[in-house]
Chains A and B, each alone.
Chain A
Amino acid sequence: MASDVDHLYIYLVLVSAVMTLLIFATIFVFAVKYRRRSNDEIPAPIHGSLKLEITWSIIPFLIMLTFFWWGAKIFFLNATPPPNSMDVYVVGKQWMWKIQYPGGQREINELHVPVGRPVKITLASEDVIHSFFIPAFRIKHDVVPGRYDTMWFTATKPGRYHLFCAEYCGTEHSGMVGWVTVMSPADYETWLAGGGTGGTMAQQGEQLFEQAGCSSCHLMDRQGRGPNLRGVYGTQVQLTDGRSVTVDDAYIRESILNPNAKIIEGFRPNVMPNFQGQVSEEQILQLIAYIKSLAITGTTVAPAGTQPAGDAQPNGGKL
């Protein structure tokens, strides 16, 4: 994908250079050729030419449409992560990046990824707007408080690359920088094994689920005062006001921070306490990982995400 961006960029540079040189050269030639030679010369008037106006409107416009088209294509590909992407969770806060992996590993200002595997990053902010920028991968996405955003990439070359915050966020905005390390799959497995002593994200989420008292209403084998969360992730649910929504990351986050916003049909408002201010963005991500991991039958399973899902590359999934 980065090379696609570069190709489009070079195309833009070439067209712009040609355009600029054309205009500079024309003006230069005219300025010299038609310089004033005597003080009372008065040139003949030339009012205009409809043909010329149309030509030099349409042709540049068509060229600009090619810019638009190519750019839109890249943008669209950027917008949808491939289905087998590896998940990484990034929480931006003044003035650091807190990174969590499904296996429970955590880092500050460092991101480790394997080469050749699509990585889907879920972005959350604890305070103001930040922006997650990896120049070498030609990607960037704002991190907006109050919602989740996602971005994805597939690294193609091992190495260490800059990570910058790209949306002004206060005093240490320029200090909110780090490194992305791309490793071979084998090295990556070794690295993963070395960290994550707190258990996987889903396991940490399960602990939180107990500690915060969620399990007293959200029972796993029958309906309690709250909906049974087993297998609910990704399904459509009916709300009390008739709408139906998909149980995705954003919905779960909202249900924790503002439970009365969307109540599932058959349940009452003001029963679930409001956890605003009591759980951090990282903890919410752990809870979501736990809920994701709940299968329809059986006990909680270890979350997927640590083993590569094979060598299949999605369309355009190269960096």
Chain B
Amino acid sequence: MSTALEQPRAQEKPNYLNAEYGWKSWLLTTDHKRIAVLYIISISAMFLLGGIFAMLIRLELLTPQGDLVNSDTYNKFFTMHGIVMVFFFLVPSIPATLGNFLVPMMIGAKDLAFPRINLLSWYIYIVGAAFAIAAIAMGGVDTGWTFYTPFSTTYSNTFVITAAVGVFVAGFSSILTGLNFIVTVHKMRAPGMTWGRLPLFVWANYATALIQVLGTPVVAITLALVGLERAFHIGIFDPAIGGDPILFQHMFWFYSHPAVYIMILPGMGVVSELVTCFSRKGVFGYSFIAGSSLSIAIIGFLVWGHHMFVTGMSTYASLYFSLLTMFVAVPSAIKVFNWTATMYKGSISYETPMLYAFGFIGLFTIGGLTGLFLGTLGVDVHLTDTYFVVAHFHYVMVGGMVLAYLGGLHFWWPKITGKMYPDGWGKFSALLVFAGFNLTFFPQFIAGYLGQPRRYHAYAPEFQVLNVMSTAGASVLGLGFLIPAVYLLWSLKFGKPAGDNPWGAKGLEWETTSPPPTFNFDQTPIVTEEAYAYAKHQEEHVG
């Protein structure tokens, strides 16, 4: 029972972490699990960078005057915050980290379909990130992460092309990851792992991969055209020669709206895993949750115009986009209801991952509902381009996605590292994140409704109280993000060794060691039961 005995034994067992040592074994690896770890490190670094910009923004907004930095610098802050967070954290996050690690294991495979392309994906991501960091280091970009023309093509004096190249390159990383996942799920499922038995996390990553593959090339060509226009002084989007700045917006949002589903779907997949494990019960409405992931992926391509209601787009187009936006909300609602129903008559425990799952469901509900506000035409005219929008997307992106990422990280941490973190600190941080988050972003709904526009360096004095609350919340939120970094890293060296299945969860990944061996399973598993077959396990156990 003594830990002194257990530690050496755990270190002796061969697993993917101790299989080989040295730089080359990591930087030239084709093991999906090591690549996932590489991504966890890179993405955390980009999250920190984006978070620093967030702190700078909130510091400036403590006072109504622009007195911390000058306007150009502030404009660069929010641009870089957006670019780094959207393209270098949110889009890759769960698929490249947890997805990479878990999807092959969850389907009983040894690796992804194209392991070398997987490694290439990571390198491409690093190159893209290098361009983005170069753009920052050379002086920054100030176009907003949305690169609207003609400001970005003709008027901005910052490193637009460098940043656009970074995003273009990172897009390729995303495409290749998506490609890999699609082929893997189609072609490499273990015997007995039918589509109807796939864990919902796999369904979620599959639907995400479809969007990545279909949508990303469009933003690639859009940014390529912007870069070419800027470099050669042509005028595709230049109104002076008959170009159309609104065409840019259509092309940009054609990707960027589905992109938000790239960001949220994997998070929803994580929540499905967490809720089932910590209710110790099969999910309610499996086929509806799986189907809703696909529906969101498909319908998500049809609603981009709801970002453009006040641009002068035709009234009939606006009607169509508003109506379709109502459609796309339904599958998300279905998921929330199904997760809640899963808890009914379950056996619920409150470990850290489950706290994040609770947080996700609550905050995503608010974020999603406020999305309906923005999809409603008459109201959107007032709310668009105000802090209401900022609050909405942070509720779904941070309150949703980031919480799901943290929940997933805490859930599978023992599997990935073989170590356990102190759950008390985990719960404390989760509560800190929840409280800090709401204090940061709820006041922004109010500020937006009252008329505070977004991307404002200085604002009208009557908004100050709300802004001060928001900044205070941001400090708490920042702390809530930093503390897990500390104890998770601490656990690598000092954490208790986790067993193969510390949570008593169902799923193929829990039927191998923690950490897993390089080829995941000693023998190819043969699947005979549905996902989340908790009750059946008991029957076997008892009978």
Residues of A with Cβ closer than 8 Å to B?
Answer: 4-5, 8-9, 12, 15-16, 19-20, 23-24, 26-27, 30-31, 34-37, 41-49, 52-53, 56-57, 60-61, 64-65, 67-68, 70-76, 78-79, 94, 127-129, 131, 133, 135-136, 138-142, 144-147, 149, 162, 164-175, 177, 258, 261, 276
A30, B348: Cβ atoms closer than 8 Å: yes
Contact of B451 among A46, A64, A164 (CB under 8 A): A164
Residue of A nearest to B281 (CB): A43
Apart from A34-B347, A140-B310, what 13 extra A-B contacts exist at CB < 8 Å?
A5-B381, A8-B378, A16-B369, A35-B350, A43-B534, A46-B345, A48-B286, A94-B155, A144-B312, A145-B240, A147-B239, A168-B454, A258-B242
Q: Which residue of A lies closest to B534 (CB)?
A: A42
Q: Is the CB of B312 within 8 A of A142?
A: yes
Report whether A75 and B450 are in contact in the complex, using a CB–CB cutoff of 8 Å.
no
- A26 touching B384, Cβ below 8 Å: no
Q: Give the CA-CA distance A107 to B99 in the complex, in Å.
A: 58
Give the A-binding residues of B (Cβ under 8 A).
Answer: 66, 71-72, 75, 142, 144, 148, 150-151, 154-156, 239-240, 242-246, 279-282, 284-288, 309-312, 315, 318-319, 322-323, 326-327, 329-330, 333-334, 336-338, 340-341, 343-350, 358, 361-362, 365-366, 369-370, 372-373, 375-382, 384-386, 449-451, 453-460, 533-538
Whether A47 contacts B284 by the Cβ 8 Å rule is yes
A145 and B144 within 8 A (CB): no
Nearest-neighbour CB distance to chain A for B260, whole angstroms, equals 18
Across-interface contacts of A79 in B (CB, < 8 A): 315
- A-B CB contact pairs (8 Å), 12 listed: A27-B361, A35-B348, A42-B537, A60-B333, A70-B376, A71-B376, A72-B322, A133-B453, A135-B450, A147-B239, A173-B456, A174-B456
Given A53-B334, A174-B66, CB of A68 within 8 Å of CB of B322:
yes
In the complex, which of the residues A56, A168, A174, A258 contacts B144, with contact meaning CB atoms closer than 8 Å? Answer: A168
Q: Knowing A61-B326, A174-B66 touch, does A138 contact B382 (C-beta < 8 A)?
A: yes
Q: From residue B249, how far is it (CB to closest CB) to chain A in Å? A: 9
| Shortest distance from the beta carbon of B375 to any chain A beta carbon, whole Å | 8
Q: Chain B: which residue is nearest A35 at the CB level?
A: B348
CA distance A57 to B336 in the complex (A): 11
B281 near A45: Cβ-Cβ < 8 Å: yes
With A43-B535, A44-B345, A61-B326 as contacts: A67 and B365 at CB distance below 8 Å: no
Known contacts A27-B358, A142-B310, A170-B155: A46-B281 contact under CB 8 Å: yes
- Which residues on the B side are within 8 Å of A19 (C-beta)? 365, 369
Select from chain A the residue with minimum beta-carbon distance to B361: A27
By the criterion CB–CB under 8 Å, are A166 and B245 in contact? Answer: no
CA of A169 to CA of B370, assembled, Å: 26
Point out the residues of chain B lying under 8 angstroms from A146, CB to CB: 239-240, 242-245
Q: Tell me which residues across on chain A come within 8 A of B455, comparing CB atoms.
A: 168, 173-174
User: Which of A34, A36, A73, A128 has a CB less than 8 Å from the CB of B345?
Assistant: A34
Asked if B281 and A31 sit within 8 Å, CB to CB, the answer is no
Would you list the 9 A-B pairs with minimal beta carbon distance, nearest first? A146-B239, A135-B451, A74-B378, A71-B376, A75-B377, A42-B538, A174-B456, A166-B385, A71-B377
* A166 and B453 within 8 A (CB): yes
CB neighbours (8 Å) of A42 from chain B are: 280, 347, 534-535, 537-538
Q: A4-B378, A9-B379 are in contact. Are A46 and B344 (CB under 8 A)?
A: yes
Q: Quick check: A75 and B378 within 8 Å, CB to CB? A: yes
Question: Would you call B369 and A36 a contact (CB within 8 A)?
Answer: no
CA distance A141 to B380 in the complex (A): 11
Inter-subunit contact A48/B288 (CB<8 Å)? yes
Q: Looking at the complex, which one of A68, A136, A142, A276 makes contact with B311 (CB distance below 8 Å)?
A: A142
Decide if B150 touches A128 in the complex (CB within 8 Å): yes
- Chain B contacts for A23, CB-based, 8 A: 336, 340, 361-362, 365
